[in-house]
Structure 1
Amino acid sequence: MKIKSILALVLLSTYSLFAQPNIDSEPVQAKLVAEEVAVVPGRPFWVGVELKMEKGWDTYWVNPGDSGFPTKVTWHLPDGWEAGPLQWPYPEKFTTDSLVGFGYTDSAVLLAQISPSSSTVIGEGVTLTADVNWLACNEQCVPGSAELSLTLPVQAEVPQKDSAVATTFAQARALLPQSLSEDKGSLTVADQAEEIVLSFSPMAGSFGEIEEAFFIPEHSEVVDYGAPQLLEKGAGGYTLNVKKARVDGESPAHVKGVLLLSEKGSSIKRAIQVDNDLTVPLQSSGFAMMLGLAFLGGLILNVMPCVLPVIALKIFSFAKMAHDKRSVILKHGVLFTAGVLVSFWLLSGALLILRAYGEGFGWGFQLQEPIFVALLAMVLFLMGLSLFGLFEMGSSLVSLGQKTSGSSSPLWGSFLSGVLATVVATPCTCPLLGPALGFAMALPAVQSLTIFTAIGLGMAAPYLIISAFPRLVRFLPKPGNWMIIFKQLMGFVMMATVAWLVWVFGAQTDNMATFVMLASFIIIAIGAWIMGQWATPLKGKIVRKVATVCALLIFAFGGGATI
């Protein structure tokens, strides 16, 4: 970064020497304005340094980026007077080749509060002087300067606002970064390995849906300006992952800058002032606590509405295997666990790959795609019909692997039940998983995968324990009519999940697409009815095959209509 800045300054100096004669007029016009028409001794008032740039010309912010230098104002005031720090409007980002800069186009007003001495003589005029220096850039960069002055009368009465510049000051204040009050939300900044992570949690109604975010530090050598900044939406708000400028150096204890937010449906950016201590990374004890929280969250997933019907069917399979060999039961438990873990690894690995390429996806990202939502709703709808007894899918899609084995309880069925349980669990993450998932996505890949592994182990733990200690199966109720009633009850839970997915699909599409989806459910139900009537073992071989082909064609037609 430093080498870039040095080279850039050398180029700028060269431009200023050789290109300045080609400039017909000054690209920047500067003016000093006061908000009030007079001065009261001891009463602070506001002034502004107004810069107006010719079309195509830019000036720089307090942190100019990889090149340039910020506008500088030096005040010359009467004895006993003081000038506060400059108030900078939020900047724009400029990109030229491999260099990134921050500054302003068209115009900028730098505000400052002037505090006059209480001994200022009433009835006389006072003169304020400001030496202003800037760097203006277009295809070439030209340094400029101006000595600005302003004379104001001194009076005892509170002065009126200057109507001629009222709009100027109002617009300037609207562009100032705003501090985040507690009634608007919270903002924290954390040091996470190679990144600085800004966590923004807005209060309900204070912000719209955030589509884009970009952090600009006030000091150099804090972040890599050219690296993509990854915005992720979670249960508790948003996180912005910003790559550090250097990963081998010591992180700053305090971070200042501007967080620019773009809301959906609005062309106006909202600038949040960042002035936070950089929180210390979690030590090993903190990481262990997060692993425990992830494991507990995985356990709780087993009773979530999306997962409960699938898990109930798995419990049925254990009850049926009560008299099988211990080794067989253990294999089923291990393969169910493997299905859960492999699914978690694949989903989290996809998220990490997308994050590496600068894409902002969060856990459950597949539910952001209407096609996936529609397919999942159709699969769960079929499972619900099967639970109601309209037709048999071997109890559910969990038994897709039955035909690959001659056993009454095929091993592949256990693996697929673990996969299915994970897929349907992603939209049902419980509150305990929110911080664990957000924390995991901000960590390096190995630690992130460890968090997701803990969630998967928590989800699979009850079944792995039962399979390792088959005597626990004896505590389960013996197979009987209660299983049929319980299956039907789980069918209602499954249909409730389908209803929720239809609502998600409707929010992503429109009324017509939702109507087509509901109509496709009727078509799919007809196919399931055909399967239940004529594709059973009680029918002849030819009848079963014809019924199966007809049902599959109907399923394909119903699914294709929605997709």
Structure 2
Amino acid sequence: MIYRYITILLLVGLACAGLSRPTRAGDVVETPHTRAMLIVDHTNIAPGGSVSVGLSLELEPGWHTYWRTPGDSGLPVSLTWILPNGLTAGPLQWPPPSRIPTGGLMNFGYEGRVILPSKLYADRAVPVGQVRVKAHATWLACADVCIPEEGDFTVALAVDASAQQVSTGVDVAALAQAQARIPQSAPWPVVFFNDGSTLNLEAGPGFDSEHIASAAFSPDGDGVIVNAATQRMAISDGKLLLHIKAGPSRGTAVTGVLVVENTESGRTGYEIDSKVIAGKASGDGTMTIWIAMVFAFIGGLILNVMPCVLPVVVMKVLAVMTRHPAPWVVRRDALVYTAGIITAFTFLAMLLLVLRAGGEAVGWGFQLQNPVVVGLLANVMLVLGLSLSGVFTIGASVIGVGQELAAKSGVWGTYFTGILAVVVATPCTAPFMGVALGFALTQSPVMTIAVFEGLALGLAFPYLIIGLVPRLSHGLPRPGLWMERLKQVLAFALYGASAWLIWVLIQQVDSSSAALAFAGLLCAGFAAWSWGIAARSEVGRRAWGIVALIAIVLSLSIVGSLRPRTVNTLSSPTVGALAEPFSTGRLAELRAQGRPVFVYFTAAWCITCLVNERVALSQPEVAEALRAHHVAYLKADWTNRNPEITAALHDLGRDGVPVYVIYSDQGAPRLLPQIITPRMVIDALADL
């Protein structure tokens, strides 16, 4: 038993020897390697007021102490307060750390002198008089060895209600400078891209390569990066790119401090709190704003052949062929049509930016998660189809066919035709669009809008080029009976689009709302028929017009009453392999088991998604490949709003569907193209 007591005493003695006991010298604590003091900017504090304080540590040359996250070794500085009733203390604030190599390790901390600011706050009800505030600080002083050091401090404060505070005059300027150096939130967008081995930080725009001397990132937490690895910096298109070797941690967000050395303004730290996106940074040459705009333009061009958009575009071209307007009118209409498309895309981009800034998880096609919008579009498609079938005629105020209208009406009609083209295009995601829009929504608002304008120009391009180069229209066939037949054929494309949107709506609402949706279509059809009779009748025109207006109001009222079902029991197209419903928890569970996972993000209102499911994912050879490679199969159904799925899309750098991704235990997720074939999927699974 006596040996146990001796052992305990020896351990206690060794522990006490490891702590350098301070020697008080006034307000300064002297330890073997540090001169410490507690700075207070004022001697008095008012009830409800505050005073600034700072822990000053001045280390011997060659010695250092640690930041809030010390890196590969060490412990952060700690300050514990003993406060009288009515006073509270704020947290320590941390100036930008330095990277301090020690052997093969990398630490984050401070050399020379550092001041860690804080605040003392007085309650409004604190009694007036003298109070004594005590603080106990601990820190490590390290060189070749690390020595725990500590200090006790006592501060006398006068609590009085006088409006004017009295300065202590002791290092107050140094404390103010330290407070000014505390990192603030970054003033520009910051995104991390994880390509498996590298965590690529992309910040900006707003950086000038002539003045940025260096940059370094210090993360919160362990395992985020390989601390000792070299961080390679580059400036591209005004953006700062920092290539950092990724650590074993695979989180969806990263926090820390980015320290930038500017030859003009000096060393500045920025607090970073950013999501992590799978893939490479745009500055790596895989994506820039110009490439994104080109991709968006190509995607917009492809939208013109989508079933919903094609009839609108063809009717605009047929209008030119039928009316033979003057060349200047054709040019004007082309520019006005383009302006309508640009207006609609600009509005959509700004709406997305506002909603995302407000914390909403939204992406491309988000409006189609609302059954009211889907029902309204179904009615619009039906009415346009009836117009092409000759039930009634929509004049130039909508699609530019029929009789000539006054110049003003024609201009406004063409303008709203451009807006209509965007409205009917929203259910579609063309190839190249996903990558471009995913990139756009991680950039500054100006760049986001620029990419959307690229999409707008692509959608407007066919009619725009015919309008600006009139001789191109000379190669078009001459007007004739074939035009009427083409209109009737295109009407069936719009009927099909309307039927498909009703199918989408049925999956979003309950059975009673689905019945209402059909009633709304009936009213819309009746309104179109009544309007056609009113236009052709010499007698009773006003009465038939009133009937049409009543039917329109009824249709809109019915559509406006549609509400999504409270429980998501969406049906899904049958595919070759049975897919589990997606959730981030299930994905994490499967990955923790070491299983590869194939996730497809889809929606009932996404035409491309449905085609891919039918052409590729439903094939038996794909199902066999999934089984052969023991791949878990998850379906993320985005038909109705689902913040969890939206967040998962954002983590992949995408803002719309379809998205096909394979998760393995090796590196970053692998994204497949938006248009897939069975062979693409099978080959990707074989690479696991």
TM-score between the two structures when normalised by the length of structure 1: 0.53
> 2:441 and 2:277 mapped to 1: Cα distance?
24
1:549 corresponding residue in structure 2? 546
Q: Which runs of 5+ in 2 are unaligned?
A: 1-53, 56-65, 70-74, 85-90, 95-194, 206-218, 226-237, 254-275, 561-688
Change (3 A) 1:356 1:289: same
> 2:512 and 2:546 mapped to 1: Cα distance?
29
Equivalent in 313, 316, 321 of residue 314 of structure 1:
316
1:325 and 2:326 matched = yes
1:162 corresponding residue in structure 2? none
1:347 corresponding residue in structure 2? 348
Q: C-alpha offsets along residues 444-469 of structure 1, whole Å, 9 cap, x if unaligned?
A: 12222221111111111121111112
**Secondary structure in 2 aligned to 1:309?**
helix
Q: C-alpha offsets along residues 62-109 of structure 1, whole Å, 9 cap, x if unaligned?
A: xx9999xxxxxxxxxxxxxxxxxxxxxxxxxxxxxxxxxxxxxxxxxx
1:558 corresponding residue in structure 2? 555
> 2:394 and 2:197 mapped to 1: Cα distance?
50
Pairing of 1:98-109 with structure 2 (within 5 A): none
The count of aligned residue pairs is 341
- Same amino acid, percent of matched pairs: 34
Q: C-alpha offsets along residues 238-290 of structure 1, whole Å, 9 cap, x if unaligned?
A: xxxxxxxxx998746134444369xxxxxxxxxxxx89997462459843333
Matched letter for residue 253 of structure 1: I
2:137 corresponding residue in structure 1? none
1:191 and 2:165 matched = no
**Secondary structure in 1 aligned to 2:454?**
helix
> 1:191 and 1:252 mapped to 2: Cα distance?
6
Give 1:559 shift: 2.5
Please tell me whether the aligned partners of residues 297 and 458 of structure 1 are also in contact (alpha carbons under 8 angstroms).
Answer: yes
- Deviating above 6 A after TM superposition, structure 1's stretches of 4 or more consecutive aligned residues are 3-12, 64-67, 185-188, 247-250, 274-278, 400-403
Give 1:529 shift: 1.9
Change (3 A) 1:253 1:408: closer
Give 1:477 shift: 1.8
Pairing of 1:152-301 with structure 2 (within 5 A): 190-193=200-203, 218-219=221-222, 251=242, 253-256=244-247, 257-259=249-251, 279=281, 281-283=283-285, 286-301=288-303
Matched letter for residue 453 of structure 2: T
Change (3 A) 1:517 1:278: closer
Pairing of 1:82-121 with structure 2 (within 5 A): none
Pairing of 1:387-398 with structure 2 (within 5 A): 387-394=388-395, 397-398=398-399
Matched letter for residue 80 of structure 2: T
2:381 corresponding residue in structure 1? 380
Matched letter for residue 558 of structure 1: S
Please tell me whether the aligned partners of residues 193 and 444 of structure 1 are also in contact (alpha carbons under 8 angstroms).
Answer: no
Q: C-alpha offsets along residues 136-194 of structure 1, whole Å, 9 cap, x if unaligned?
A: xxxxxxxxxxxxxxxxxxxxxxxxxxxxxxxxxxxxxxxxxxxxxxxxx9999653435
> 2:328 and 2:436 mapped to 1: Cα distance?
35
**Secondary structure in 2 aligned to 1:555?**
helix
Equivalent in 80, 84, 87 of residue 14 of structure 1:
80
> 1:319 and 1:442 mapped to 2: Cα distance?
43
> 2:528 and 2:92 mapped to 1: Cα distance?
63
1:27 corresponding residue in structure 2? none
> 2:552 and 2:327 mapped to 1: Cα distance?
39
1:462 and 2:462 matched = yes
Change (3 A) 1:187 1:391: farther
> 1:275 and 1:560 mapped to 2: Cα distance?
42
Please tell me whether the aligned partners of residues 188 and 276 of structure 1 are also in contact (alpha carbons under 8 angstroms).
Answer: no
Matched letter for residue 553 of structure 2: A
2:88 corresponding residue in structure 1? none
Give 1:375 shift: 1.2
2:435 corresponding residue in structure 1? 435
1:240 corresponding residue in structure 2? none
**Secondary structure in 1 aligned to 2:308?**
coil
Give 1:302 shift: 0.6
**Secondary structure in 2 aligned to 1:394?**
coil
Q: C-alpha offsets along residues 348-402 of structure 1, whole Å, 9 cap, x if unaligned?
A: 1111222222221101221121111111111111111111222222278435999
Please tell me whether the aligned partners of residues 391 and 531 of structure 1 are also in contact (alpha carbons under 8 angstroms).
Answer: yes
> 2:508 and 2:524 mapped to 1: Cα distance?
22
Give 1:336 shift: 0.6
1:494 corresponding residue in structure 2? 494
Please tell me whether the aligned partners of residues 345 and 453 of structure 1 are also in contact (alpha carbons under 8 angstroms).
Answer: yes
Matched letter for residue 544 of structure 1: R
Please tell me whether the aligned partners of residues 399 and 416 of structure 1 are also in contact (alpha carbons under 8 angstroms).
Answer: no
Please tell me whether the aligned partners of residues 334 and 464 of structure 1 are also in contact (alpha carbons under 8 angstroms).
Answer: yes
**Secondary structure in 2 aligned to 1:281?**
helix
> 1:253 and 1:65 mapped to 2: Cα distance?
28
Q: Which runs of 5+ in 1 are unaligned?
A: 20-63, 68-184, 196-215, 223-246, 262-273
> 1:334 and 1:280 mapped to 2: Cα distance?
32
Please tell me whether the aligned partners of residues 536 and 544 of structure 1 are also in contact (alpha carbons under 8 angstroms).
Answer: yes
Give 1:432 shift: 2.0
Matched letter for residue 254 of structure 1: K
Please tell me whether the aligned partners of residues 202 and 241 of structure 2 are also in contact (alpha carbons under 8 angstroms).
Answer: no
Change (3 A) 1:416 1:294: same
> 2:279 and 2:92 mapped to 1: Cα distance?
22
Matched letter for residue 191 of structure 1: L
RMSD: 4.3
1:519 corresponding residue in structure 2? 519
**Secondary structure in 1 aligned to 2:427?**
helix
Change (3 A) 1:491 1:186: farther
Change (3 A) 1:279 1:461: closer
> 2:398 and 2:341 mapped to 1: Cα distance?
15
Q: C-alpha offsets along residues 219-241 of structure 1, whole Å, 9 cap, x if unaligned?
A: 5999xxxxxxxxxxxxxxxxxxx
Please tell me whether the aligned partners of residues 382 and 495 of structure 2 are also in contact (alpha carbons under 8 angstroms).
Answer: yes
> 2:475 and 2:279 mapped to 1: Cα distance?
54
Please tell me whether the aligned partners of residues 203 and 239 of structure 2 are also in contact (alpha carbons under 8 angstroms).
Answer: no
1:510 corresponding residue in structure 2? 510
1:338 corresponding residue in structure 2? 339
Matched letter for residue 292 of structure 1: V
**Secondary structure in 2 aligned to 1:429?**
coil
Change (3 A) 1:186 1:505: farther
Please tell me whether the aligned partners of residues 255 and 278 of structure 1 are also in contact (alpha carbons under 8 angstroms).
Answer: no
> 1:502 and 1:481 mapped to 2: Cα distance?
32
Matched letter for residue 372 of structure 1: V
Please tell me whether the aligned partners of residues 217 and 255 of structure 1 are also in contact (alpha carbons under 8 angstroms).
Answer: no
Please tell me whether the aligned partners of residues 340 and 422 of structure 1 are also in contact (alpha carbons under 8 angstroms).
Answer: yes
TM-score between the two structures when normalised by the length of structure 2: 0.44
Please tell me whether the aligned partners of residues 333 and 464 of structure 1 are also in contact (alpha carbons under 8 angstroms).
Answer: yes
Change (3 A) 1:186 1:342: farther
